[in-house]
Amino acid sequence: MSKKPMPAAMKQRLVGVTLDEASIGRSNPDVEHERAVAIYDLLEQNIFAPVDQADGPYTLHLSINDNRLVFDIRLENGTPVMAHLFSLSPLRRIVKDYYMICDSYYQAIRTATPDKIEAIDMGRRGIHNEGSRILMERLKDKVTLDMDTARRLFTLICVLHWKG
């Protein structure tokens, strides 16, 4: 009995994401929970494939080397496809801004008017979108992904920076 070929859309996606404990490390339970949620959301729905590759689905192992995020992309069976070093410098300011506005948002939820909360949330979403666009632009020659996947990946990168 032969296997039916997998549709292309199901091949161009991530089916696993792991974090390198040696370079990223473990954190407190709140941070670990947020990392798990970010990975779950990313895996739930995504479009992700190295440029000019159609053999997926893929797994992604993330590690940090000299302030660069290492994207170790492999086929689902573990066969290496490519590794890409991604400088975190272009995202440093945006991640910092994102955390500042998230703090403002969580403080506003307790005391501010609904209009104020909505305005802060719109700003938060705008910064999140800006970070996602930077991520897409920086990866465009290496990895094909859509805006929703870039947003989920940006969330994961932000959580990797979070200390709790």
- Quick: pLDDT tens for 139-158: 999 999 999 999 999 989 88
Query: Would 52 be classed as within a structural domain?
Result: yes
pLDDT of residue 9: 62
Query: Would 50 be classed as within a structural domain?
Result: yes
Chain centroid to CA 9: how far?
Answer: 20
- Quick: pLDDT tens for 36-64: 999 999 999 999 999 988 789 999 999 98
Query: Would 3 be classed as within a structural domain?
Result: no
CA distance 160 to 91: 12
Query: Would 110 be classed as within a structural domain?
Result: yes
Query: Would 64 be classed as within a structural domain?
Result: yes
Query: Would 2 be classed as within a structural domain?
Result: no
Contacts 24+ apart (CB under 8 A), 37-40: 38/152, 38/155, 38/156, 38/159, 39/156
H-helix or E-strand spanning residue 72? strand 68-75
Chain centroid to CA 95: how far?
Answer: 12
pLDDT of residue 31: 76
140 is in which domain, residue-wise? 8-161
Task: Assess whether the previous peptide bond of 57 is cis (omega < 30° from 0).
Answer: yes
**Over 80: is that where the pLDDT of 3 sits?**
no
Per-residue pLDDT, averaged over 71-83, amounts to 95
H-helix or E-strand spanning residue 69? strand 68-75
Structurally, the chain folds into a number of domains equal to 1
